[in-house]
């Protein structure tokens, strides 16, 4: 495990925590699910580039999909 993978995982997990709290308080499904995914996915992705690509997409999803 590299240091960059660890730091990116912490950064995206903290963004996921923010999405999770927002989604829970506002009863919004999309930020809630994206927040949970952002907190869990860094544990299973072994590549930094794949982690950056996937988590960047997950960060952008709540801005484009409003339910």
Residue range 26-50, pLDDT digits in tens: 999 999 999 999 999 999 999 999 9
Does residue 60 sit in helix, strand or coil?
helix
Model pLDDT for residues 10-20, shown as the tens digit of each residue: 999 999 999 99
Domain boundaries, the chain: 3-64
Q: Please tell me the pTM assigned to this model.
A: 0.91
Give Cα 15 to chain centroid, integer Å. Answer: 6
Query: How far apart (Å, rounded) are the C-alpha atoms in residues 65 and 45?
Result: 24
């Amino acid at each position: 495990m590299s240091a960059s993978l660890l730091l990116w995982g912490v950064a995206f997990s903290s963004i996921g925590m923010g999405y999770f709290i927002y989604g829970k308080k506002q009863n919004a499904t999309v930020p809630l699910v994206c927040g949970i995914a952002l907190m869990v996915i860094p544990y299973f992705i072994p590549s930094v580039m794949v982690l950056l690509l996937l988590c960047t997409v997950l960060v952008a999803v709540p801005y484009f999909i409003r339910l």
